[in-house]
Every structure is written in C-alpha cells, then in structure tokens.
Amino acid sequence: MKLLVTGGAGYVGSVCAARLLESGHEVVVVDDLSTGHEDAVPDGARLVRADIGEVAGELLAEGFDGVLHFAAKSLVGESMVDPAKYWDGNVLTSLRLLAAMREHGTPRLVFSSTAATYGEPDQVPIVESAPTRPTNTYGATKLAIDHAITSYAKAHGLAAVSLRYFNVAGAYGRFGERHTTETHLIPIVLQVAMGTRERISIYGADYPTADGTCVRDYIHVLDLAAAHLLALDHAVKGEHQVYNLGTGTGFSNKQVVEACREVTGHPIPAEFADRRAGDPATLVASSAAATAALGWTPERTDLRTIVSDAWEFTRARG
C-alpha cells in the first residue's frame, strides 16, 4: 500500500514507518519536525517537512491507500497551561486531514489515540466501553478526534481504527524515544543511569496500590507497531473500530526503577515527591478486543526486555 505517515519523525511514528517499509509498503512521512527529528525518518521513506493541516490536500491528491496519523502535541502538563496549542495542533489539524481524506477518497485511517481518553477508571483492566472522562486537555483533544473519526466513518465510508496506547516504551534499534522535554518515567530514569540527571523523583508514595506508587501498563513500541500493521489490514469501510493496546499487566513506579537498576547496573538514586496532578493510581488495559479482532498479542511483555531495549538505544546515542 502507499501510506501517508504523519508524525513519522517522532518516536512511535518512526518505529511504525520502519516496520511498514520492512513489510513492503511505500511510505511518505509528513512531519513539521517541531518535536520530531529528521534523522529518525527511516531510510526509504520520503520526508515532506510541513504541517499536515496545511499540506494534507496537496499530498493526498497524489493518491494514497491510507493514512497513519501519529502527528500530535502530546505533553499532558503543557496541554493544561496552553490548551489552544492542543485544540489547534491536534483537533483542527486532524479535522483538516479528515476533510482532505474525504475530498481525495483516501480509504483507510489508523489513528493514535490514548488511554488518556478514559481518565480515572472505575474498573481495571480498562475495556473500550469504559466511560471516557479525560482528566487533561491532551486526552480531551484525542477523544474529540476519535468522535470526529466515528462521524466520518459513518457518513463518508471511511475505514478507521483508533488505537488507544497505554504506556509506550522500549526502542527498535536506532528508533527510540528522545523528546527535548522529557516527562516519561523510563527515559528519565535512564537519564539518571547515563549520568545526565542526579536522581529520579517518584511522584506519590501514598496511592492505593500494593507499594503506594502508581501502576502503569508498559507496551513495547514494536508490539505497538505490529498492531498498526494489523489495523491497516482489518479496517472496514464505514466502521470506526477502537482498541486498547497494553499488555494487561501493571508495573508500579518503584518496580520500574528497580528494573532499570537491574538492567543498567546503576544504583539510580530515587526520592519520593508529591503526587503529580491528574495522575490516576492505576492504568491497565484490557486488550482482549484487539486480540479477538486483529489477532494481536504483545510479545515483548517482560519489563526488563522493554527497559533493556530503551537502555541500548539511550547508550548508543550517548
């Protein structure tokens, strides 16, 4: 298939673009490089350096079999202090993309949605029918886009799949996580092991969890990429399918730090700090629907494997 990958210079987008190319697809990456990196775009992909909202029409006029839409603003904290950046950057941009897809008859869309669409869950593991009550603007914008996609699928016959990622981690060779503003637990802990940060602050030790720290469901970026390839094949005209992607197993922040100590051999000094606003105690996915509908099963579920791959990537970059 000829595929447009928005945000293909970013973390998840670059890994997916690499896997799509390896599977024989033709890939055009569109990325404005506001948070992505030119050298993260895999060899063999054409890079169009532009804002997707501005060039979607022109690009899709070439004729594409589908779009994988990763491009987004994704910092939860920033979304609370600068919501316009998120409503414009995520929602407006995606609406322009949807309009261009409709105009040019692009048949398929795979969209990067998020566990943040659910907010604080009543029940874990979280199933797709759970209430969607995002606790931050980032999650609200992703949910708004999901609603728009549902309407386009119903009204205009788009074949769409939204994938709700839980905590993405790990790396694929030279493709990994490198945000200028890093807020995610594993890369921050690895910065301590690299010596570029003194210690890790664990936010909150009084959560209602086994060891008092938050519990998250870490999904290896390669397993995530595999789900995108399956979603492309299983997209159905006129339907918007929504699937959670996680392993179904939660690890506490303390367990993550411990796994990083084991993998890196570094003592990783840690301290407890206040809770971070908006952090639910436990987020664990039920991915039963993705398994049933897409035939997807995560394979790299061991936390040490996930951390090892991220560590290898971090060390190689120096």
Cβ of residue 288: shortest distance to ligand UDP, in angstroms?
Answer: 21
Interaction with ligand UDP in 221-260: which residues (CB under 6 A)?
253
Q: Which amino acid is at 179?
A: H
Interaction with ligand UDP in 171-210: which residues (CB under 6 A)?
183-185, 188, 200-203
* Site pattern 111..140 for ligand UDP (x: CB under 6 A): ------------------------------
Report the residue number, 106 or 264, with the smaller CB distance to ligand UDP. Answer: 264
The residue of the chain with the least Cβ separation from ligand UDP equals: 214
Please check whether residue 73 is in contact with residue 138, taking contact to mean a CB–CB distance below 8 angstroms: yes
Instruction: Give 141's contacts (C-beta < 8 A, 6+ positions apart).
Output: 73, 79, 86, 87, 90, 91
* 159 backbone dihedrals φ, ψ, rounded to 5°: -100, 110
Tell which one of 69, 73, 216, 254 touches ligand UDP (CB under 6 A): 216
Tell which one of 6, 167, 247, 282 touches ligand UDP (CB under 6 A): 167
Nearest-angstrom CA–CA distance, 216 and 210: 13
First and final CA of the chain: distance in angstroms? Answer: 36
Tell which one of 46, 147, 154, 276 touches ligand UDP (CB under 6 A): 276
Report the residue number, 87 or 203, with the smaller CB distance to ligand UDP. Answer: 203
147-176: burial string, b at 16+ Cβ within 10 Å, e else: ebbbebbeeeebbbbbbbbbbbbbbbeebb
- Total chain residues near ligand UDP (CB under 6 A): 14
Please check whether residue 70 is in contact with residue 12, taking contact to mean a CB–CB distance below 8 angstroms: yes
Q: Tokens in use for 283?
A: 């987020």
Select which of 11, 86, 118, 138 is catalytic: 138
Cβ of residue 117: shortest distance to ligand UDP, in angstroms?
Answer: 12
Could you confirm whether 138 is annotated as catalytic? yes
Residues that bind ligand UDP (CB under 6 A): 167, 183-185, 188, 200-203, 214, 216, 253, 276, 279
Active site residues: 138
